[in-house]
Amino acid sequence: MRQILLDGMQWFLVACAVGAVIRILAGPSAADRLVALNVLSGIVLAFLAIRGVMEGQAIYLDVALVYDIFGFLGLLAIARFLKEKAMGAGEDE
């Protein structure tokens, strides 16, 4: 029962991650891509947590915490310094 729960949830999160990656590729403007990146990092975080519980060792969850901090930092860097305006609305791709 426990194993079924964990495995089922993992496959569901992988499906959500693929959905988010498709939105990253397809998103018309950079803002959609950042939104999809935000979703993707949340989903990967959940996947790490579930996998950590399945493995049972504590170091696996340190990865999730480190990833949460640096993912947030990277997103902050992207959104803080760059603007859509320099490139127009990104429609000439």
Partner 1 sequence: MISIVTELIALAAFTSAAVFGTAGIIGLYRFPDPYARMQASSLCGTTAVFSVFLGSLALAPSWAVATRLVVLMAFFLVSGPTGGHIVARFAWNSGIDPWRPVSPVIRPARRRFGGGKVERAKDSPLPPESGID
Partner 2 sequence: MIEVALACVLVLCLYALEGRDLLNGTIALSGVSLLSALMFYVLKAPDVAITEAAVGAGVSTVVFVWAIKSTQRRDLT
Cβ within 8 Å of residue 16, ≥6 positions away: 39, 43
- Distance, in Å, from the CA atom of 39 to the CA atom of 2, rounded to the nearest integer, reads 26
Instruction: Quote the crossing angle between the two packed helices 30-55 and 59-81, to the nearest 10°.
Output: 170
CB atoms within 10 A of CB 17: 18
Q: Which residues bind partner 2 (CB under 8 A)?
A: 10, 14, 17-18, 21, 24-25, 30, 33-34, 37, 40-41, 44, 47-48, 51, 55, 57, 59-60, 62-63, 66-67, 69-71, 73-74, 77-78, 81-82, 86-87, 90, 92-93
Residues that bind partner 1 (CB under 8 A): 1-2, 5-6, 8-9, 12-13, 16, 19-20, 23, 29-32, 34-36, 38-39, 41-43, 45-46, 49-50, 52-53, 56-58, 61-62, 64-65, 68-69, 71-72, 75-76, 78-80, 82-85, 89, 91
